[in-house]
Structure 1
Amino acid sequence: MKAARRLAPLALLARAYSSATKAESQRLFDEINAFWFGESDRLHDEGKASFQKWWFQPNAAVDEQIKQRFSSVHSQVVASKAHVDNAKETADGTLALIVLLDQMGRNMYRGQAQAYSGDAIARSLAMYMVRRKFHEMLRPVKQSFVYMPLMHAEDIEAQDLSVQMYTELAEKLSAPDEDARNDGFGRFAEMHRDVIRDFGRFPTRNKALGRETTPEEAEWLKTAPF
């Protein structure tokens, strides 16, 4: 009689959550978007300013809150692409998984290789939205998060597309549009693309990913802008 093969914990998670129902997925998408963008989905005045502060500035308390609430499902999606098929049915669903994988992963695992474990899936979801123009169904501030996996990619074609999308977003909007932060995003996208053009990768990730830093990268890191 053959002994039962034991599955590693991550494999068990993958098996358990690989076929989420649409209702389960929708609850998850709603929770992610409400947490990240606010219950009212109206990012203005003091509320918007407070969100932007922890979106783009390290905050240990927020990081821990995200980890407590979303680390389990982050692992599930990375391991088995749980919820991905259901996410692709709506713009908000796809956005939610992009935020989970591309943004929340970086909050939960700052300075660790795991911070980038969801990048490939997030990038494929971003490309899915752009090709089908799903991103155009979203408010400008949400569109800007759709393009971030492209800006985070160690791939020059994705970087070129990132700059293109942020440029197009800025051109569509009447200035000033406080909801989109288009000027800052556009410049930041160009800065990311320049790094990939120069090095083919982000030297700031070398330590976390166990990569050897070249002398040229070491010199750049002395004054790295991000």
Structure 2
Amino acid sequence: MTESSSSAEVTTKTLPDVLSFWFPKPGGSPDGSREYMNDPSYIGSQMNDWFFGGDAMDEKSRAFRSLIRSEGAKHSASELDKNSHEDLIAKIVLFDQIVRNAFRADPEAFAYEDQVKEILEYLLQVTDDKQTEISEDALSAFVNREDVTFCDCYFVGVALSHQEKAIFHGVDIRMYDYVAKRWPDTQKMVDQAVEFAEHHVAVLRRFGRYPHRNEQKGRESTPEEQAWLDDYDNLPGWAKSQLTKKE
């Protein structure tokens, strides 16, 4: 952790704050309704903050550092069934999205991948460490749950893309088939999400992991990985964004 990590940190943010920050409710939306999270216009309006928010979004995200650490410390895979669906989505956003803004180019940006892995396994019915594939039934069941929104699926898909564990490779692409069927008016966004996922899985299938994380995770790069990293101009933007230095 960085020098800002301290046992004296006070957690003032909550999991509901994560959802209201990442998915701000538009004016006029009824209390308790999450229907706006299926609206293509709303989703499109948030894309810039989600993926291109820059320093301003990083600064806002740093307010969640203590919550990230406290939720990470008390996380238990065996107690995930005690969480509401919205809490689980908030934790995915917290540990997979906000953390990357809050700890940009710092090892802590990738320190909560196990927590995300366990939540994904819970949501997609992975019950055995020896299981090698996520079933179509599990994907369909998740996407078609009454309490699931497009945005939930979208950020579960992004989290799947970020996972290095082989069982998740390409699962986001398969899941988006069900997403497009449930919300056909989001097809354009689904197509973009599939393209994003394909770029990620191509790197995973080539290296078995993400080389741009090696330095932060204390891993030694192979010669092939180093050659990929050294070709900075051709690195995808999502890989460049977490490098500690730009050659």
For normalisation by structure 1, the TM-score amounts to: 0.77
| Root mean square deviation, CA, Å | 3.1
Structure 1 pair 83–154 and aligned structure 2 pair: CA distance change class (3 A):
closer
Unaligned runs of 5+ in 2: 27-33, 126-137, 239-247
Aligned with residue 143 of structure 1, among 146, 149, 153: 153
Aligned letter for 2:173? V
CA contact (8 A) 2:80 2:119 kept: no
2:178 corresponds to = 168
1:5 corresponds to = none
Kindly indicate whether residue 117 of structure 2 is the aligned counterpart of residue 123 of structure 1.
yes
1:224 corresponds to = 235
1:185 corresponds to = 193
Deviation, 1:147, is 2.6
Deviation, 1:87, is 7.2
| Aligned residue pairs, count | 205
Aligned with residue 210 of structure 2, among 202, 209, 213: 202
Alpha-carbon separation, structure 2, partners of 1:29 and 1:56: 21
Aligned with residue 154 of structure 1, among 160, 164, 171: 164
Aligned with residue 21 of structure 2, among 35, 56, 66: 35
Aligned letter for 1:116? F
Alpha-carbon separation, structure 1, partners of 2:46 and 2:77: 26
Structure 1 pair 140–77 and aligned structure 2 pair: CA distance change class (3 A):
same
Alpha-carbon separation, structure 2, partners of 1:162 and 1:47: 22
CA contact (8 A) 2:40 2:186 kept: no
Kindly indicate whether residue 80 of structure 2 is the aligned counterpart of residue 72 of structure 1.
no
CA contact (8 A) 1:167 1:186 kept: no
Aligned letter for 1:61? A
Alpha-carbon separation, structure 2, partners of 1:106 and 1:87: 26
Deviation, 1:162, is 2.4
Unaligned runs of 5+ in 1: 1-7, 18-23
DSSP 3-state at the match of 2:105 = coil
CA contact (8 A) 1:29 1:96 kept: yes
Structure 1 pair 191–67 and aligned structure 2 pair: CA distance change class (3 A):
same
Kindly indicate whether residue 48 of structure 2 is the aligned counterpart of residue 53 of structure 1.
yes
Alpha-carbon separation, structure 2, partners of 1:82 and 1:155: 19
